[in-house]
Each structure stands twice: as C-alpha cells, then as structure tokens.
C-alpha cells in the first residue's frame, strides 16, 4: 500500500497541518521539524501525486500558443480550436494566450518564444520553423524548465518536449501512392506546391512523397517544388505558369494547406482543357468545394481540435511531472474523397 500523508505525520510525530506546510513550502515550521518531516518522507518512500495536489489547490495552468498569422485556412481552424479550448478554461483549469507571428519568419518566431518565456508560463505550444534561432530559443526555454510542445510542424533535433501532429512522412507517402495509382498507366511530370520548405511538416511530406514515387512510380518525374508561402495570389501564379510550361504535367501534390490559389489555377487549367490529378491537404470549405467539383481528387486531413487538445494534455502532464500516454496523443491522418465527405 502506498504511504499517505497520515503515515508521514505519524512517522515524524507531527500534525497533518505541519506536513502540509512542509510539503507546500509554507512558512511557520521550525527547521528541526521540517527536517523530521522530510526524513519521514524519504524513509517511507512517499511519492506525491502532483496532479491531485494541483487539483486540490485549484491550480490554473497558464499556457501560450504561438501561431503563424496568414491566410491559411487550416491555421485559421487551428486558431479557432485554441480559442475554443480557452473558452473551456474554467473547467480545464487553463488560461491560454495566443501570440501571433509572421508566417515562415524564423527570427520573429525565436523572439516570440523568448518573449513568451519571460512570462514564465506553465508551457508553450508553437507551430515550429526549421531554423537554428528557433532551436536555440526552445533550448533556452526547456533549460529554464518551461515545457515546449511543437504543434503541426515539428522541430527535430531540438529540446522540445513533444510533437502534436500527424506523421508527415507517412502523409507524403500516402499522397504519392494515391496519386501514382490514379494517374497510372500514364507517364508525365508531377508538380509539387509547398507553403515553404523551411517548415518541417512540408519537408517531411515532400521527402515521403519522393521516396514512394522513386520506388514505385519511376515513370513519373517530380518537378522542383514551388513555394507559395500561403499566399493565394502567388500560388495561383506559380501553378498556372507550371501548367503552361509543362504540357506533360498530369498530376499535382499540394503538401501545404493554402489551397485557394491552387483551386483558382486548376479552374483556369480546366477552362483550357487540362485536368490534373490533384492531392491536397486539410479539409476546409474551399477544399471541400474543390473535391465536390472534381478539382481535387483526394484531401488528406488532420484534426486541428485533436492537436490542440493533445498539446494541452501534454503540457499539463509535463507541468505536473507525469508520463505522457503516447497512444492517446497519436494524431491520425484522414483520407477524404468526394464520396465520403463528413
């Protein structure tokens, strides 16, 4: 049987109130008495249930979420999920603040991380950018005991505590398998549209995509990736120019979530008699309409709400010194075609 505070009080020969003051570092206890209580704790092997103690004390967890500010529909959904979580703060005992940073700006993100750390939050969740300044900021935060969870886009080879997001290499491999089978037995080129290859999720999706294409569909040539930077006008221009420059382009993989410009370019291509097999990411109003119109063939989706809830659970566990339940935090990849839309 696990020892209790009653056992500690009996072993040390003090009251329960004294044990409580010692365990919570409150004043009013003589040094000799404090030492007796600490010795009793060591002797009995008492392990404190930090989560239960925090619940009993009504602790509130202040968390900071650092999110990119752009026109990406998925990031808007992610922000909404954070706001919804904050609205449940009284029940969840959380208080969440959102910090906006320019998309794909590593220096601005690193500065925002360090600035957030000055407020000494119970934890920070961040959509990461693959850059040394960001990695160094995370190292400083975790070195100060502030848990950091990367959200959607990971920061590998860093000191972050956890990643809340899908398996992005697997997402890329899935996209390649689907696209390759859909265009078979045709031969031709495949376009790739990214938001930015400075973020790990886009890097990993592209890597997984290329792996399967090279292994199973060598008759298809992958064109150099276009970077639309989640700017719909830029994405539209890049895709339209690629379609015109490559008459043999028969497929396209959009591995980011900025789909509005892509959809406009595909509509223009269709008007000129060109149809491309297209695999995209994230189910939004725009991508749903593109599926229904036959402009997109498949949309791979991740649940923004699940990712935010996972990040909060992990940050609370880290703040309480508890183990993270890996199976509970696994984020699945949903595959949607126009016939199974929710």
Span 170-181, pLDDT tens digits: 999 999 999 999
CATH code for the domain of 17: 1.10.260.40
Q: In what order do the strands lie in the sheet with 123-126?
A: 94-102, 61-69, 123-126, 148-151, 162-164
Judge whether 53 lies within some domain. Answer: no
| 203/322 same-domain check | no
Q: Calculate mean pLDDT across residues 144-166.
A: 96
Does residue 81 share a domain with residue 27? Answer: no
Beta bridge pairs of residue 230: none
216 and 325 assigned to the same domain: no
Q: What percent of the chain has pLDDT over 70?
A: 96
Q: What is the pTM of this model?
A: 0.81
Calculate the average pLDDT of the chain: 92
pLDDT at position 29, please? 87
**pLDDT for 238:** 97
In a domain? residue 177: yes
Same-domain status, 146 and 215: no
pLDDT at 70: 86
Confidence class of residue 53 from pLDDT cuts 50, 70 and 90?
low
Task: Determine, yes or no, domain membership for 310.
Answer: yes
Q: What is the 3-state secondary structure (H, E, C) of 227-270?
A: ECCCCHHHHHHHHHHHHHHCCCEEEEEECCCCCHHHHHHHHHHH
What is the band of 303 on the pLDDT scale with cuts at 50, 70, 90? very high
Query: Do 96 and 68 fall into the same domain?
Result: yes
Residue whose C-alpha is closest to residue 135's, from 109, 169, 99:
109
Instruction: Please report whether residue 68 resides in a domain.
Output: yes
Residues 186 and 294 in one domain: yes
Residues 244 and 159 in one domain: no
Among the candidates 13, 30, 48, a domain finishes at 48
Domain count, the chain: 3
Instruction: Answer yes or no: is pLDDT of 47 > 70.
Output: no
Q: Are residues 323 and 260 in the same domain?
A: no
Residue 342 lies in a domain: no
Q: Are residues 101 and 213 in the same domain?
A: no
Range of the domain at 320: 58-165+304-331
pLDDT over 60 at 267, yes or no? yes
Please state which of the ranges 84-88, 97-101, 164-168, 325-329 shows the lowest mean pLDDT: 325-329
Mean pLDDT of 131-140: 97
What CATH number has the domain bearing residue 208? Answer: 3.40.50.2300
The pLDDT of residue 326 is: 83
Q: Are residues 151 and 199 in the same domain?
A: no
Domain check: are 218 and 321 in the same one? no
Inside any domain, residue 341: no
Mean pLDDT on 303-315: 96
Whether 340 is in a domain gets the answer no
25 and 172 part of one domain? no
Residue 288 pLDDT > 70: yes
pLDDT tens figures, 205-249: 999 999 999 999 999 999 999 999 999 999 999 999 999 999 999
Q: What is the pLDDT of residue 54?
A: 53
Asked if residue 64 is part of any domain, the answer here is: yes
């Amino acid at each position: 049987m696990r020892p209790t505070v009653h056992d500690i009080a009996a072993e040390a020969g003090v009251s329960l109130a004294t044990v409580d003051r010692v365990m919570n570092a409150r004043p009013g206890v003589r040094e000799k008495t404090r030492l007796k209580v600490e010795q009793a704790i060591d002797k009995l092997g008492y392990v404190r249930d930090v989560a239960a103690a925090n619940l009993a004390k009504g602790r509130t967890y202040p968390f900071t979420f650092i999110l990119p500010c752009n026109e990406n529909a998925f990031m808007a959904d992610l922000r909404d999920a954070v706001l919804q979580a904050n609205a449940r703060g009284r029940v969840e005992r959380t208080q969440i603040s959102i910090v906006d940073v320019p998309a794909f700006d590593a220096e601005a993100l690193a500065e925002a991380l360090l600035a957030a750390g000055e407020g000494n939050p119970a934890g920070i969740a961040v959509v990461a950018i693959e850059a040394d300044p960001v990695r160094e900021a995370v190292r400083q935060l975790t070195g100060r005991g502030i848990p950091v969870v990367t959200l959607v886009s990971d920061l590998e080879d860093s000191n972050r505590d956890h990643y809340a997001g899908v398996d992005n290499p697997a997402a890329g491999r899935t996209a390649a398998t689907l696209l390759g089978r859909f265009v078979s037995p045709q031969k031709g080129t495949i376009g790739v549209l990214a938001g930015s290859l400075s973020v790990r999720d886009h890097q990993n999706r592209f890597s997984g995509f290329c792996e399967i294409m090279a292994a199973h569909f060598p008759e298809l040539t992958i064109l150099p990736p276009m970077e639309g930077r989640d700017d719909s006008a830029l994405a539209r221009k890049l895709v339209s120019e690629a379609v015109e420059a490559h008459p043999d382009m028969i497929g396209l993989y959009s591995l980011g979530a900025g789909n509005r410009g892509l959809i406009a370019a595909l509509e223009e291509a269709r008007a000129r008699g060109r149809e491309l097999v297209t695999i995209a990411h994230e189910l939004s109003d725009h991508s749903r309409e593109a599926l229904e119109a036959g402009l997109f063939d498949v949309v791979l989706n991740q649940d923004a709400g699940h990712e935010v809830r996972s990040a909060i659970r992990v940050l609370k566990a880290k703040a309480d010194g508890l183990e993270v339940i890996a199976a509970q935090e696994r984020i699945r990849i949903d595959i949607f075609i126009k016939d199974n839309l929710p």
